[in-house]
Amino acid sequence: MSDDPTANDEQPSAIWGGRFTGGPAAAMRAINPSIGFDQRLYAEDIDASKAHSAMLAHQGIIAEADDAAIRDGLETIRREIEAGTFTFSAALEDIHMNVEARLTELVGEPGRRLHTARSRNDQIATDLRLWVRGAIDRLDGELAAVQKALIEQAENGAELVMPGYTHLQAAQPVTLGHHMLAYVEMFGRDRGRLADARKRLNECPLGAAALAGTAFPIDRGMTAEALGFDAPTANSLDSVADRDFALEFLGAASIAATHLSRLSEELVIWCSEGFAFVELSDAFTTGSSIMPQKKNPDGAELVRAKAGRVIGGLINLLTVMKGLPMAYGKDMQEDKEPVFDAADTLELCLACTAGMIADMTPNAENLRAATQRGFLTATDLADWLVREAGMPFREAHHVTGRLVALAERTGRDLPELTLAEMQAEDARITEDIFGVLTVERSVASRTSLGGTAPDTVRAAAARARERFL
């Protein structure tokens, strides 16, 4: 950029300079182009242009020979870009004009006819929908890979008892398998949200032109079908003015990233010396430059942190869109970078998480040892008083609470209290109470649908395989 940000080019833009007598200032030349990032849309732009050209020829708007030349030229450009020999120009601003300019160099006059009955406004709306649709399809596969790793851990850990937590305080015994399946359900809903977003975005804006449609006799249904859309968009203003499809994608991606962050937080905690519930493999951990003994869960920590980037992309685009009058504003050029970054970040985080979970080694001894602290079978005791002694639950809750306090004062767990001590609190307690106070019995009793009993977990894992994989 020139030292003087107000310095102008002498020549107007070759793209839109007909009504201009001078060129843009250096600062404008720096802020205006998007080719530095929207070149990622080259494949979508070429595909949409091929579909548009074929439609124009079919409708008699351009000659069949022009269409053939255009489509051959576009394929040449695709090969050049993929080979790394294509020269992108900031002076041409964006992927659309870079492709069109090169097409005109290759095929001459037919290339100048391609822009008939369209605008860059409907072009970019089409290209970005196509790109987001592809990103959703890729992310669905990555989410399925995470679910597969979790299901396998669930199957292997169906009988591994561990504490379940609320408020990060030990609450009730569960199994590791049950815990893993909780995340399978979360990621299943993430896949559903992305699928819903895909369904809603799958309408084609091409042919809406700048904002008002076109006077040419185009066939929007033909281009929509050629590009795999379900239908054309219904309103030309809406077609170019909104990016709710991108916002919905970012919203679904942000929820998925939040689920990844929560899982990663647990992995970080579980790898710590205070827990030592699991060990992550060398493939997803790092060491310290000064402390030789360290094995840090950096993969999990980075996944946890990168959720902020995805969520930030959503906030970014919401802020861009919140005050825009209809229809298109150049503000909307800022839609692509948050979408690209969020998709890239989420895809990387999913790959890392699938690897971490697949390689994770549970420590069965430490998992079970942790269930011996925190009076995890207190709820089982209260349930027994309701079921066997006929107490109202609220009364049973208070009796159990007093027994927990006794155990805590004397440094024991509930099964270590004597029958006489329990009966001093309530005479209806019998020897049978000790049959429900082990963590294994507690876990085995939770046979309700969605519960943590080992056989229930195995059945749930089998159903999850059928539903998700």
Could you say which of 2, 89, 272, 288 is catalytic?
288
> Distance between CA atoms of 278 and 462, rounded to whole angstroms?
24
Q: Which two tokens stand for residue 344?
A: 């890239």
Q: Which two tokens stand for residue 146?
A: 């995470």
> Distance between CA atoms of 345 and 348, rounded to whole angstroms?
5
Least Cα distance to 387 among 342, 436, 427, 423 occurs for 436
Q: Which two tokens stand for residue 144?
A: 């399925």
Q: Provide DSSP, 238-300.
A: HHHH--HHHHHHHHHHHHHHHHHHHHHHHHHHHHSTTT--EE--GGG-B--SS-TT--B-HHH
Least Cα distance to 363 among 264, 273, 458 occurs for 273
Cα angle value 105/109/115 (rounded, 5°): 90
How many contiguous H segments (helices) and E segments (strands) does the chain have?
Answer: 19, 6
> Distance between CA atoms of 62 and 70, rounded to whole angstroms?
11
Residue in the structure block whose two tokens are 């980075």: 302
Q: Helices 298-321 and 244-271 sit at what angle, rounded to 10 degrees?
A: 160
Q: Which two tokens stand for residue 25?
A: 């200032």
Residue in the structure block whose two tokens are 């002498």: 10
167 is known as an active-site residue:
yes
**Prior bond to 327 cis, omega within 30?**
yes
Least Cα distance to 131 among 315, 335, 340 occurs for 340
> Distance between CA atoms of 181 and 465, rounded to whole angstroms?
11
442 is known as an active-site residue:
no
- Is residue 317 a contact partner of residue 250, using CB atoms and an 8 Å limit? yes
Alpha carbon 17 to its chain's center: 42
Least Cα distance to 337 among 177, 105, 128 occurs for 128
Could you say which of 58, 167, 289, 448 is catalytic?
167
Return the active site residues.
Answer: 167, 288
